[in-house]
Amino acid sequence: MSTYSQNIDAITKLRADQGSAWDAIDPEYAARMRAQNRFQTGLEIAKYTAKIMRDDMANYDADSSQYTQSLGCWHGFIGQQKMISIKKHFDSTDRRYLYLSGWMVAALRSEFGPLPDQSMHEKTSVSDLIEELYTFLRQADAREMGGLFRELDDAREAGNEVAAKELQGKIDNFVTHVVPIVADIDAGFGNAEATYLMAKKMIEAGACCIQIENQVSDEKQCGHQDGKVTVPHEDFLAKIRAVRYAFLELGIDDGVIVARTDSLGAGLTKQIAVTNEPGDLGDQYNSFLEVEEVTVDDMNNGDVLIKQNGKLVRPKRLASNLFQFRQGTGEARCILDSITSLQNGADLLWIETEKPHVGQIGAMVNAIREVVPNAKLVYNNSPSFNWTLNFRQQVFDSMSEAGQDVTAYNRDNLMSEEYDATELAAAADERIRTFQADSAREAGIFHHLITLPTYHTAALSTDNLAKEYFGDQGMLGYVAGVQRKEIRQGIACVKHQNMAGSDMGDDHKEYFSGDSALKASGKDNTMNQFG
């Protein structure tokens, strides 16, 4: 017996137990409302999605073609429409997640107005967005199931038992829009206690996966900007442990932690690590510092000196009171960061790179896997990369190395439209197309995400509409550029009243008021024009 049928039976019994006072309660209506509200709390969502993610990780370990993907969403509606589209096009949400970008929270959700990605926005705006995203995804479930219930009623009324049975199967096997969210906690918004409190709020809102980075909280920068400052490993590990304790306290035993290293682009540290003996973790961190050997006589007022490899050395300290790493040590630091994080409780890695290059990422992952064989990455397919230029230059370099004639191309100007129809451009586009599959296979990338794509799509679509509507096309700019495409592409949102919940409201009016219900979906509802 299906859960739906079980709920009808259970509520029928409950109604009978309550006597005549409940005569007006229809058990099937109540069962429908239960089916439309499968997840009552964020913790239920976190438990459900954590299992999905763990299963996906195991499947990827067995077969690297089973990688996962997500897009960053800055509003519940955007996340909802993304998942509705995925269900429409692929009949499944398998291996497709949402990403919550700290960058977009700062830029679009702060009460201070647009901010750079420096953790200056309100802490709770992150957990608020998680809750909002899941509210919209649950509403998508309720809306779609409401449509199935109305179709079921129509089939029953028409005496079409075949259609009714088919619809009952769709209800019983309904695929939820609720999927895992990889949620960005930045550098933890303060000390380890602050990180723990923030993580709890995020998990309570539904997060099963939290991504945290090894930058200094009060110096945090976007991963693709300059001026990044890292912290010693022990500081970062304390925050990883804080997130794990938050998961365990709330009963999410299989919660997922993504440890991000920004060391590739970070040339500075705020602290010299504590070290007790040569070769320990603190000593390894300090070994990357830019230092010069000195004697006591060489000391200046206020100098900081350390003993390193049996010598007295002076780390290079800037006027900002930050210490500088040696040039060219970024990849080695990333590898050490990653191994250390996995050995101390992280589940997945994130290496923030300056370009999308399978070979570069793969080389670091191979080094990590020598120590931790099942190491896996979450990777930022960042809009901060000029993908066209990067991959055209990669193809150019490959052609040069192979001895092919590249005199027709200017490497520094490969973004130009004049190259769009060339063999080089076609080869680059093919590499871009297969980048996710290639890097999943060759560079250990389990999860591919684009951090802020919907920031750009919103800007692009608005620009196109503004250009046409306020220009010569007038109303045709909206009709041809938006509405006609919505209708022909089957975009559910073309019926915006339905999307906003009008039909569900009508259902509830009928449940609550019976034949006296005043419904919005009558013949004069203009949504009927859309079929």
Question: Residues annotated in the binding site for Mg(2+), as ranges?
Answer: 184
DSSP letter at 518? -
Which residue from 78, 140, 142, 131 is spatially nearest to 104, judged by alpha carbons? Answer: 78
Question: Please, what is the Cα angle at 223 between 120 and 134, to 5 degrees?
Answer: 65
Strands 377-380 and 445-450: parallel
Question: Please, what is the Cα angle at 271 between 267 and 275, to 5 degrees?
Answer: 110
Q: What gap in Å lies between CA 224 and CA 438, rounded to an integer? A: 23
For the chain, the first-to-last Cα distance in angstroms comes to: 34
Q: What gap in Å lies between CA 221 and CA 115, rounded to an integer? A: 12
| Dihedral, 428, 432, 434, 435 alpha carbons, nearest 10 | 120
How many other C-beta atoms lie within 10 A of the C-beta of residue 218?
13
Q: What gap in Å lies between CA 426 and CA 415, rounded to an integer? A: 13
Q: Which of 73, 222, 334, 493 is catalytic?
A: 222
Q: What gap in Å lies between CA 48 and CA 53, rounded to an integer? A: 9
DSSP letter at 482? I
Distance from the Cα of residue 503 to its chain's centroid: 31
Instruction: State the residue for tokens 């050490």.
Output: 336
Residue ranges at the known binding site:
184
Q: What gap in Å lies between CA 45 and CA 194, rounded to an integer? A: 23
Q: In what order do the strands lie in the sheet with 311-315?
A: 291-293, 311-315, 306-308
Residue 262, φ and ψ in degrees, nearest 5 = -105, 15
Contact 143, 498 (CB under 8 A): yes
| 208 classed as catalytic | no
As given in the structure block, the two tokens for residue 246 are 């938050």
Q: What gap in Å lies between CA 186 and CA 181, rounded to an integer? A: 15
Instruction: State the residue for tokens 């990044």.
Output: 228
What is the maximum span of the chain, computed from C-alpha positions, in angstroms? 100
Distant-in-sequence, close-in-space partners of 24: CB < 8 Å, separation ≥ 6: 514
Contact 261, 214 (CB under 8 A): yes
Would you list the DSSP string of 86-100?
Answer: HHHHHS--TTEEEEE
As given in the structure block, the two tokens for residue 308 are 């390193």
Q: What gap in Å lies between CA 352 and CA 347, rounded to an integer? A: 17
Instruction: State the residue for tokens 């190395």.
Output: 401
Positions annotated as catalytic residues are 222
